[in-house]
């Protein structure tokens, strides 16, 4: 109850891991640790899906669906029951070349 | 913005300083309160800091004044180069999320400033939070520069540079009280207009109590919520905010119950429910929007939160407002 953050899209394929430890360096929430010559997930629920590990894994052993997400689009879809359209709508301040409001402190 | 940079349009490196001027501090203040939010920029390109030579380190940053200034002021006494990417005046982490602080822009910028001719080594130090936009191995492949991820916070750079290793503490992003409070002025200024409108309408309908309720609702969402975040019950921002809204409504409920003994029971009940529902839903909504400013919420989680709470919030807010309006008149 009242916890929407128990699951995320992070998956590590240990078979593919080459042991470079890059994921342990780029993760801002200490989700990964080295277990001998392989990476392992030690703090799964702390993952915020920023995508740094996936992008910096030279062996493509990590997959995570990242993206800033557009809250305005999600709110519209949840309210109206219609399909979620991505950025660009009139209610959305983000996504264009120069973000003006909304996302990001 | 009255910042002066030398040699802005010439191909050679620009120069900057370790020390921040009163003008820089004024610019930071304006950025923090949200005045011309996307205009706090420095020209992208290569900067000389101190008197660097061919062996000096190269640090990469965003062209947002708060990012650039945090970096240069943390590097006091270190002669080096700063390679500033064009992130459209957005900080490193948010820009990395949108890939403007990204592999492609970094490669383009390395090429544009002819970095390979300026320095003899092939190492770049990037802020760790830039990693969600930059693939280090791709940069290496296409430019031959090795990307090294420094600490999350520029302030840890002097310590980091001693042996180029970051402690686990330096690698973790925080969201402490100071980090949260510094964000609140922007949220207050961004909600100022709806707040004033709500206060005005509230005053016309229900006098000073309604005006105060509107003020308390907005400030609870924009200031109290960020301040109290870790101590509010439950995990979801919406339920945390909903709880805070109920607490914020209590003084108004008490004043109706105790201060207006002459009122009919249904007017007392109607206004009390009106305060509780409206303020709970309103604060919950503002709080939900704070997920975007936090440093730990995942997109999957935020989406789940929105789909769970947005309709109940809308229903509560609607019923609460109707109740407040009706029982402003029904004696």
Q: What is the set of domains in chain B, with CATH numbers?
A: 14-173 (3.40.50.11600), 184-329 (no CATH)
Its pTM stands at 0.89
Of B91, B303, B311, the CB nearest to A104: B91
Domain membership of residue A40 as a residue range: 11-63
Of A5, A75, A78, the CB nearest to B298: A5
Q: Which residues of B touch A97 (CB under 8 A)?
A: 88
Residue A86 falls inside a structural domain: yes
DSSP string, B106-161: HHHHHHHTTHHHH-SS-EEEE-GGGGGT--HHHHHHHH-PEEEE--SSGGGHHHHH
The per-residue pLDDT for B246 is 98
Residue A6 falls inside a structural domain: no
Regarding whether A53 and A18 lie in a shared domain, the answer is: yes
Tell me the percentage of chain A whose pLDDT exceeds 90: 58
Per-position b or e across B64-100, b if 16+ CB within 10 A of its CB: bbbbbbbbbebbeebebbbbbbbbbbbbbbbbbbbbb
Q: Which pLDDT band, with edges at 50, 70 and 90, does A86 fall under?
A: low
The per-residue pLDDT for B271 is 96
Place of tokens 């807010």: B317
Regarding whether A30 and A16 lie in a shared domain, the answer is: yes
Pairing of strands A62-63, B14-16: unpaired
Residue A18 falls inside a structural domain: yes
Cα dist from B259 to B199, B202, B253, B254, B263, whole Å = 21, 19, 10, 7, 9
Regarding whether A72 and A47 lie in a shared domain, the answer is: no
Contact B131 A52 (CB under 8 A): yes
Regarding whether A85 and A72 lie in a shared domain, the answer is: yes
Regarding whether A79 and A58 lie in a shared domain, the answer is: no
Average model confidence (pLDDT) across chain A: 83
Read off the pLDDT of residues B102-133 as tens digits, 9 standing for 90 and up.
999 999 999 999 999 999 999 999 999 999 99
Question: CA-CA distance, B176 to B103, in Å (whole number)?
Answer: 30
The per-residue pLDDT for B11 is 64
B281 interfaces chain A, CB cutoff of 8 Å: no
Residue A76 falls inside a structural domain: yes
Read off the pLDDT of residues B29-81 as tens digits, 9 standing for 90 and up.
999 999 998 899 999 999 999 999 999 999 999 999 999 999 999 999 999 99
Contact A102 B305 (CB under 8 A): no
Question: CA-CA distance, A59 to B7, in Å (whole number)?
Answer: 42
pLDDT tops 50 at residue B21 = yes
pLDDT tops 80 at residue A99 = no
Tell me the percentage of chain B whose pLDDT exceeds 70: 97
pLDDT tops 70 at residue B157 = yes
Regarding whether A57 and A16 lie in a shared domain, the answer is: yes
Regarding whether A38 and A17 lie in a shared domain, the answer is: yes
The per-residue pLDDT for A73 is 82
Long-range contact list for B23-26, CB < 8 A, 24+ apart? B24/B65, B24/B69
Token pair recorded at residue A78:
């949840």
Regarding whether A55 and A27 lie in a shared domain, the answer is: yes
Residue A1 falls inside a structural domain: no
Of B235, B288, B293, the CB nearest to A3: B235
The per-residue pLDDT for B4 is 46
CATH number at residue A27: 3.30.70.20
Tell me the helices (H) and strands (E) count for chain A, helix number first. Answer: 3, 4
Which is higher by pLDDT, B4 or B311? B311
Burial of residue A82 (number of CB atoms within 10 Å: 0-12, 13-18, 19+): exposed
Q: Which residues of A touch B243 (CB under 8 A)?
A: none
Q: Which residues of A touch B296 (CB under 8 A)?
A: 29, 46, 48
Regarding whether A46 and A83 lie in a shared domain, the answer is: no
| Lowest-confidence pick of A81-90, B292-301, B313-322 | A81-90
Regarding whether A50 and A90 lie in a shared domain, the answer is: no
The per-residue pLDDT for B318 is 98
Regarding whether A59 and A19 lie in a shared domain, the answer is: yes
Read off the pLDDT of residues B167-202 as tens digits, 9 standing for 90 and up.
999 999 999 999 999 999 999 999 999 999 999 999
Q: Count how many domains chain A has.
A: 2
Residue A105 falls inside a structural domain: yes
Q: Which pLDDT band, with edges at 50, 70 and 90, does B161 fall under?
A: very high
Q: Which pLDDT band, with edges at 50, 70 and 90, does A69 fall under?
A: low
Closest CA to B31 of B227, B154, B177, B182: B182
B188 interfaces chain A, CB cutoff of 8 Å: no
CB B330 within 8 A of CB B270: yes
Residue A50 falls inside a structural domain: yes
Residue A2 falls inside a structural domain: no
Contact A7 B300 (CB under 8 A): yes
Regarding whether A29 and A58 lie in a shared domain, the answer is: yes
Neighbours of B2 (CB within 10 A): 7
Q: Which residues of A touch B167 (CB under 8 A)?
A: none
């Amino acid at each position: 109850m009242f916890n929407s953050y128990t699951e995320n899209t992070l998956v590590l394929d240990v078979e593919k891991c080459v042991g470079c430890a890059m994921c342990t360096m780029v993760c801002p929430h200490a989700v990964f640790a080295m277990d001998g010559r392989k990476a392992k997930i030690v703090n799964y629920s702390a993952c915020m899906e920023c995508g740094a590990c996936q992008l910096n894994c030279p062996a493509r052993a990590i997959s995570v669906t990242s993206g800033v997400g557009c809250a305005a689009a999600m709110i519209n879809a949840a309210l109206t029951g219609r399909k979620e359209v991505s950025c660009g709508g009139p209610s959305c301040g983000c996504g264009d070349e120069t973000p003006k409001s909304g996302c990001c402190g | 913005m009255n910042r002066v940079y030398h040699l802005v349009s010439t191909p050679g490196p620009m120069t900057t300083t370790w020390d921040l001027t009163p003008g820089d501090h004024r610019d930071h203040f304006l950025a923090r309160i949200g005045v011309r939010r996307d205009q706090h920029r420095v020209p992208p390109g290569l900067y000389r800091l101190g008197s660097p030579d061919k062996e000096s380190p190269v640090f990469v940053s965003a062209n947002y004044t708060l990012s650039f200034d945090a970096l240069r002021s943390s590097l006091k006494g270190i002669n080096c180069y700063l390679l500033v990417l064009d992130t459209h005046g957005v900080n490193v982490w948010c820009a990395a999320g949108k890939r403007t602080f990204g592999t492609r822009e970094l490669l383009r910028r390395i090429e544009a400033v002819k970095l390979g001719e300026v320095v003899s080594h092939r190492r770049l130090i990037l802020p760790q939070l830039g990693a969600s936009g930059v693939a280090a191995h791709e940069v290496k492949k296409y430019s031959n520069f090795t990307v090294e991820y420094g600490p999350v916070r520029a302030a840890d750079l002097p310590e980091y540079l001693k042996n180029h290793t970051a402690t686990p503490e330096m690698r973790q992003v925080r969201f402490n009280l100071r980090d949260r409070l510094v964000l609140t002025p922007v949220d207050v200024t961004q909600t100022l207009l709806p707040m004033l409108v709500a206060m005005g309408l509230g005053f016309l309908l229900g006098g000073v109590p309604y005006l105060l309720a509107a003020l308390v609702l907005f400030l609870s969402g924009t200031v109290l919520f960020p301040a109290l975040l870790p101590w509010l019950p439950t995990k979801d921002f919406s339920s945390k905010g909903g709880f805070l809204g109920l607490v914020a409504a209590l003084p108004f409920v008490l004043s109706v119950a105790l201060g207006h003994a002459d009122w009919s029971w249904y007017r007392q009940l109607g206004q009390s429910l009106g305060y509780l529902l409206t303020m709970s839903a309103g604060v919950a909504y503002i709080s939900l929007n704070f997920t975007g400013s936090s440093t730990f919420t995942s997109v999957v989680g935020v989406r789940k939160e929105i789909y769970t709470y947005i309709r109940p919030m809308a229903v509560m807010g609607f019923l609460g407002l109707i109740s407040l309006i009706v029982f402003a008149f029904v004696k």
